[in-house]
Structure 1
Amino acid sequence: MIRPETEQERERRRIVVMCLPFFVLATFAAFIPLVVMARMSVSADQFENSGFSMEAWYTLATESVYLTVAWNTLWFATLATVASVIFGVGISHALEKYEFPFKGFVVSMISFPIALPGIVVAFMIIVLLGRQGLLTHTVAFFTGGSPLDIAVATTVFGLFCGYVYSLIPRSTMVLRGTYTEVNTDAEEAARALGAGSLRTFYHVTLPEIRPGVVAAFILTFRSALAIFGTVLVLQSLNVATLRIDREIAVGFNSQIAGAIGLIYFAFILAFTFVSLRFTETDVVEI
């Protein structure tokens, strides 16, 4: 490998050299922290990694509050991901299939939330849907209701809006790239044979963009699991990211925090590898 003699050996060396920076980064940003978390989860001391105890893992397996946290994390992230991908498909379809004024501005506005920290998104939800929120008072004005009863910023619905607002740009950016490879000849042939727009989309377009839909789901779901700032401010649902913060902040229970972090990582890794098996598709040709 140091002095390759064949083209195959030179190709392998190029791959190793190109991957080396990633592995260096992964060593310090992933592998070492994971080892530390693993040691932390079985430590007998809260303030330093010493001794051995399985108390944290026993607590996670037996106390119902942690099972509730896991369930809340899964169903809420799944719901927000599905909604974001559906919106992403619709937005990508409109951007790639139709021409309209100010398309560049629309694309910029759609991608803008990616640059916003989760805390900023949470405060935007409060400004719109909080007790003094713009939309809250608008609805109250037309319905005669009380803003205190209408405000939903700190409810599960408000948190859901914050998640979806942050996730839609991620799904849209992935799906726009997929739409550029759609076989338009097959779509035109389907319409020429009498298929309507919805039928053409379901039987022709959707099978072609399925890898993009799966990729968008993978990226968006992982992002939904990792959102921290939004749930930290709105706090309407106890999910894993918020729970880790609470474990560290209240009582400094680093063992349970480390155990949750390991389970969190293992689940995301397994989910990614399983989901990638569904990204292959047969391209529609004509």
Structure 2
Amino acid sequence: MKGVMVTCARGRETQAGKEACDLLSEYAQKLYGDSFNDEPAEQDEDESIEDAIAREVAQAKKTKGGKKFLPLSTGTDCVIFIRAMDIEPSKLCHYVLSDLQKSGSKRTRYCMRFIPVDETSYANMEDIETMSERVFKPYFHAEDQKPTTFKIIPKIRHNDKVERDALLKKLAGMAGQGQNHTVSMDDPEYIILAEVIKSICFMGVVRDYEKLKKYNIQSIFEAAQKSEGNEEEVPEADDVKKDDDEKKVETTTSEAAPEKET
């Protein structure tokens, strides 16, 4: 599955799920136009990530129509997963957050971070490797691929079978395999996000990670408010020139005038 991982305050998972679906649906309509149609569908609020994957595997292929965004429980406090249909999660999240940054509006009450998930797999190294080949291809192994820079940010929660260092080494080797890509800790073009929660690995590749405040909606809003509050009126160029000329005249007059006798 693909979609968006959403973080929120503890106990607000249900509200954040509905809020995220509404916001993502709104922006998907803007991004994809009339071809995007989010029709209502029945939903099992207690359905977990594992149950949803098992159901979709059994179905083999999802029928057309139905809900484009569907909140699913991750079984972890403060984290929910929004399953998405017929969209590119990284592209949509970048579009949403860039617009929120530009407008300076928050638009959310419960959602904190939007983390794009290009694909999910079961949390074992074999399945993660297979998934990574598909996820990395358009970013690092395209036919006309040019050297780029990347950084990997792994996070593991409630799982003692996947080791962080082993995951980091495996993903770095796969991203750079057969290419002249390099790891950049300061200013990478791409960030590989690998989130392991219980038995599922969520993976996405994003751009402008630092610029968009690590895809944190609250941080983007606070930075916009701070920037707006610090803005000062900048004098016009003609006014600056006029002030400088007046100062020069005053200085010249003062230096040329003789002292008045007392």
TM-score normalised over the length of structure 1: 0.23
More strand by share: 2
What TM-score do you get using the length of structure 2 for normalisation?
0.25
Higher helix share: 1
Which structure is larger by alpha-carbon Rg, 1 or 2? 2
